[in-house]
Amino acid sequence: MAKQSHTKRAIAGILLAGAILSGAILSAPAQALDPGDAIQTRKAVMASIGAHMNGIKAGMAAKNGKLVAGHAGAIAALAPILPGLFPKGSGPESGETRAKAEIWQQWDRFVATTKALRKEAEELALVTELGDTAEIAAQFGTMARAGCGACHQPFRTRK
């Protein structure tokens, strides 16, 4: 028994060390991403943000504010990570991407849209607490325009 718990503690120690190590790797500057990897990563992250949008819509349809708030919170958490997924050199010259060269020419404007996305997504999570369906829908629209649209329109090529 004592031996078993010792083993468990040893395993827990290894897992903890692994978590700290992977945390160190994950918190390293995202600029270190190779351009090809960055393209793959951001497409996956964007697709998951798109899925969170569907989660919000489902939550609104079901009048489930917690669902809306949970998905909005996930988007708010992802927004500040986005700029790091667009390292210099990860434009059309480096692979199949809809990212426009304007991103790197107007970097501050690009980053500003991620801040707007975070702000409006946080606001969406907050308004769910009021339970007002119309207000939640309105804030969802604001987030989509000021967050998603404000970046896609100038910075993403059409399909």
Q: Given the complex with ligand HEC, which of 18 and 52 has the nearer CB atom?
A: 52
What Rg, from alpha-carbon coordinates, does the chain have? 20
d(CA 108, CA 118): 15
Tokens of residue 15, six digits = 């897992």
d(CA 131, CA 68): 11
Distances (CA, A) of 83 to 7, 22, 41, 126, 144: 42, 21, 12, 25, 18
Residue 110 as a binder of ligand HEC (CB under 6 A): the answer is: yes
Smallest distance, ligand HEC to C-beta of residue 70, A: 14
Of residues 1-40, those binding ligand HEC (CB under 6 A): 39
Residue 78 as a binder of ligand HEC (CB under 6 A): the answer is: no
For ligand HEC (CB under 6 A), the number of binding residues is 23
Q: Given the complex with ligand HEC, which of 119 and 156 has the nearer CB atom?
A: 156
Smallest distance, ligand HEC to C-beta of residue 121, A: 7
d(CA 111, CA 145): 15
Per CB under 6 A, residues contacting ligand HEC are: 39, 42-43, 46-47, 49-50, 53, 75, 82, 97-99, 110, 113-114, 117, 147-148, 151-152, 155-156
